[in-house]
Amino acid sequence: MDPATVILLLVLLGLIVIVGLWVAMAYNRLVRKRVQAENAWSQIDVQLKRRHDLIPNLVETVKGYASHERETLESVIRARQQAVDASGIQDQAQAENLLTGALRQLFALSESYPDLKANQNFMKLQEELTGTENRIGFARQHFNNTVGQYNTAVQQFPTNVIAGTFGFQQRDFFEIEDPGHREAPEVKF
- Residue pLDDT, tens place only, 152-186: 999 999 999 999 999 999 999 998 765 554 454 45
Residue type, 40: A
- Residue pLDDT, tens place only, 124-137: 988 999 999 999 99
- Decide if 150 contacts 171 (C-beta within 8 A): yes
- Residue pLDDT, tens place only, 75-116: 999 999 999 999 989 999 999 999 999 999 888 888 888 888
**In the predicted structure, residue 29 carries a pLDDT above the cut 80:** yes
DSSP states of the chain as a string? --HHHHHHHHHHHHHHHHHHHHHHHHHHHHHHHHHHHHHHHHHHHHHHHHHHHHHHHHHHHHHHH-TT-HHHHHHHHHHHHHHHH--SHHHHHHHHHHHHHHHHHHHHHHTT-HHHHH-HHHHHHHHHHHHHHHHHHHHHHHHHHHHHHHHHHHHSTTHHHHHHHHT-----------HHHHSPPP---
Nearby residues of 63 by Cβ (< 8 Å), 6 or more positions away: 73
Average pLDDT, the chain: 89
Q: Where are the domains of the chain?
A: 1-31, 50-146
Average pLDDT over residues 39-61: 93
Cα–Cα dist 79/68, whole Å: 19
Question: Looking at residue 70, what is its pLDDT?
Answer: 82
| pTM across the whole model | 0.80
